[in-house]
Amino acid sequence: FSGDSQRIMSGGQDLNILMWDRRSGRVADRITGSIAFIWTLSVAPAADLLATPGTDSAIQFWDLKSMHLAGSLIALQHETRTFAFNRDGRLLVSGGFDHVLRLWDVATQRVLKELGGHEEPIFQVAMSADGRRAASISFDRTARLWDLRSGRGQIIGIGSTSVAVPAPGWSVYGASKSA
């Protein structure tokens, strides 16, 4: 969802990002220029920023006001499969095939922390609205909760590869309004 909850974003193999009008159900706008299949995306509503996959090792950022590419993170060594913003769009967590959860400063495009613990690829992440905690789910059949300040993580679930629905204050999209 967009920050005003009026548009729903989607993407796919055609490399287009579609913005659907929530009320009419019709495509209201389209962003073109992606360089990779869009299997996931994340919106930072307060920043009017959208993140999509780039090449195997990149994340592309799109300015939702200008509808143009705003930048990319390219410093990754393995394919990134999932990412999520905090509420204001200043922080991003990512996970992927190298089993590492990364915390990024979006403005500087620098990794603030690299957190290891999973034994298989990470396929889903969520970040608390305040950017203090993150959750990750891996093909190693564990869910982990991370304190992003200390870098400590703990297993909070074992035995499932299902995608969990975040609790209030958490968002895979960065759109949560609660603290």
> pLDDT by residue for the chain (179 residues), tens digit each?
777 888 888 988 888 899 999 999 999 999 988 878 888 888 887 878 888 877 667 888 899 888 898 888 765 667 778 889 998 889 999 998 889 999 999 989 889 999 999 999 998 999 998 889 999 999 999 999 999 999 999 988 887 655 454 454 555 444 333 33
- Residue 48: C-alpha distances to residues 12, 62, 100, 128, 140 (Å): 21, 8, 27, 18, 34
Query: Whole-prediction pTM value?
Result: 0.79
